[in-house]
Amino acid sequence: MLKEIAAGIAAGVLIFLALKGVDVTPFLLLAGMGFLAYWLIEKKGLLSSTLGGKSYTSTSPVSFADIGGQGTAIRELKEALEFLLRSNQVQAMGIRPLKGLLLSGPPGTGKTLMARAAATYTDAVFLATSGSEFIEMYAGVGAQRVRNLFNRARELARCQQKKRSIIFIDELEVLGGKRGSHTSHLEYDQTLNQLLVEMDGLKQDQEVQILVIGATNRADLLDPALLRPGRFDRQVRVDLPDREGRLAILKLHTANKPLAPDADLEVIARETFGFSGAHLESVANEAAILALREKVPVIEQRHLMEAVDKVMLGEKLGRKPSPEELYRLAIHEAGHAVTGELLRPKSVSHVTITSRGQALGYTRQKPEHDIYLYTRDYLETQIAICLAGAVAETLVLGSRSTGSLNDFKESIRLARVIITSGLSDLGVVAEENLSQEQMHEASTTIINQEEERVTSLLQPRLAVLQELARSLVERETITGQELRLLLQDQAKAS
């Protein structure tokens, strides 16, 4: 109504000026430019409610049953969603409405899937966008997009005759970063301020209930105003899955794939400590691709094991080292494998000198159980295993190579963990109170002790190292079981 009145007044003024003999051409040009700007903004979506067409509504419903390995996070999320489902009881009890949920955790753990499942669970309209889509170089653009996003959520809910709407904002740290951290660009702060205002305006008795779900990998970067009660009232941690969780995820992603009788998903779950749900989906997919490439009708265990290696390290490379380099590489990996098996029995899964990614060869170990706390003994054992490749080269070949560079870096990192965790002979210390010389001396002492330990382990087993290296050169890959049989034969012979 106001727009029509304003247009009528403007037209009347122009007619009056024209009758008085005033040239109204400049005014007509300005009016045309203003109409064009309005048309671009409101009709063509330059600042439209669809955020440039990149926001979307969910067309394929996802339920919590489709998400594996996140039982704890799902229970927390369902408990929070009860505020939406039981809104009448919540209002009768005088409880403040739930306005926001924050899902935080590493990439690939299923935060977006959980938000979509929340929309299905609550029978709500689902809109999704990313924090980066709100930030532009022009002041006020992001704030306008935030307003339009909330209006769009209400409009869609009314059109679909639903009482609830869920707005999902991925990469929330881009939109909701701490104010003042972008000193040269106030657009970030204005956009965040508008989001805070919109969330403050959400009421329990509104026609459409709106819940904002944010997802982030870096909760530490968020502005404190977002995390206070009344904004994002609940924070749900979506962590990497444990072994049972990984098994559940693998079962979900292989449900539509033909598995051979020998395919053991429990073994794969043990082998994939530290994998996210996205990694595990990729393992299942790569295994199916390998089977298809070989024209095999079912996915066998070897395909799954190969897929784990590919996801972890990359595709096999075509480069072929010279025979001398290949034997040195085999000795290096034999050192890792023998030391790993002696210090942590039955831990070696397989040893290979096949090049993948940046690795010329590798020894894969599987933990008996998922480990979240580390003792000094465990860390020292890991340092010893890292150093074993270089020690084996020295004992058998008389010299070392640059292939040990990454092993040394990892050894130094682990030694620093021992020191900063208060597990070294220095006792409990603050890292900032240690000079570089003190840190170097303490870490060197730890590494030298472990190098001596590895030398004493491998010195009487040179024959095993050489036999294992010859097998690796011939076959490229040795299983953990074959390694254990070789060590048993050597023990009997001695």
- According to CATH, the topology of domain 56-237 is Rossmann fold (3.40.50)
pLDDT tens digits for range 204-258: 657 788 888 999 988 888 888 888 888 888 888 998 888 888 999 999 999 899 9
d(CA 468, CA 462): 10
pLDDT of residue 27: 67
Cβ atoms within 10 Å, residue 166: 27
Domain 323-493 is in which class? Answer: mainly alpha
- The answer to whether the beta carbons of residues 236 and 103 sit under 8 Å apart is yes
pLDDT of residue 249: 92
Domain 243-313 is in which class? Answer: mainly alpha
| pLDDT at residue 148 is higher than 60 | yes
| pLDDT at residue 17 is higher than 50 | yes
Q: What is the mean pLDDT of the chain?
A: 82
pLDDT tens digits for range 115-142: 999 888 888 889 888 887 777 655 567 7
| pLDDT at residue 50 is higher than 50 | no
Q: Tell which wins on pLDDT, 196 or 60.
A: 196
Report residue 38's pLDDT band, with 50, 70 and 90 as the boundaries: low
d(CA 252, CA 95): 38
Reference 308, options 336, 293, 286; nearest CA is 286
- Of 97-106, 173-182, 330-339, give the lowest mean pLDDT range: 173-182
Report residue 353's pLDDT band, with 50, 70 and 90 as the boundaries: confident
pLDDT of residue 411: 94
Backbone angles phi, psi at 321, to 5 degrees: -65, 160
- Of 58-62, 76-80, 386-390, give the lowest mean pLDDT range: 58-62
pLDDT tens digits for range 291-302: 999 899 999 998
d(CA 484, CA 437): 42
| pLDDT at residue 51 is higher than 60 | no
Percentage of the chain beyond pLDDT 70 is 85
Query: Catalytic residues, which ones?
Result: 333
d(CA 196, CA 231): 7
| pLDDT at residue 42 is higher than 70 | no
Backbone angles phi, psi at 478, to 5 degrees: -125, 135
Cross-sheet strand order for the sheet of 477-479? 362-365, 348-352, 477-479
Alpha-helical segments (H) within 93-219: 111-122, 141-159, 172-175, 187-200
Sign of CA dihedral 450, 455, 460, 461: positive
- Of 37-46, 88-97, 186-195, 257-266, give the lowest mean pLDDT range: 37-46
d(CA 452, CA 458): 10
pLDDT of residue 53: 37
d(CA 210, CA 233): 14
List Cα–Cα distances, 46 to 49, 133, 322, 363, in angstroms. 9, 12, 60, 54
Report residue 45's pLDDT band, with 50, 70 and 90 as the boundaries: very low
Report residue 492's pLDDT band, with 50, 70 and 90 as the boundaries: confident
Q: Pairing between strand 56-57 and 125-130?
A: antiparallel
d(CA 339, CA 269): 24
pLDDT of residue 205: 59
- Cβ within 8 Å of residue 122, ≥6 positions away: 81, 84, 85, 164, 166, 211
- The answer to whether the beta carbons of residues 76 and 90 sit under 8 Å apart is no
d(CA 101, CA 98): 8
Look at the chain and count its residues: 494
pLDDT of residue 44: 41
pLDDT of residue 55: 45
Q: What is the mean pLDDT of residues 1-18?
A: 65
| pLDDT at residue 311 is higher than 70 | yes
Report residue 6's pLDDT band, with 50, 70 and 90 as the boundaries: low
List Cα–Cα distances, 56 to 133, 149, 210, 275, in angstroms. 13, 11, 16, 29
The residue type found at 71 is: G
Reference 114, options 64, 173, 80; nearest CA is 64
| pLDDT at residue 65 is higher than 80 | yes
Q: Tell which wins on pLDDT, 8 or 381.
A: 381
pLDDT of residue 43: 45
Q: Tell which wins on pLDDT, 6 or 313.
A: 313
What is the value of pTM for the model shown? 0.74
Report residue 391's pLDDT band, with 50, 70 and 90 as the boundaries: very high
d(CA 338, CA 351): 10
- Of 284-293, 335-344, 369-378, give the lowest mean pLDDT range: 369-378
Torsion angle defined by CA atoms of residues 353, 357, 363 and 369, in that order, rounded to the nearest 10 degrees = -160
Report residue 393's pLDDT band, with 50, 70 and 90 as the boundaries: very high
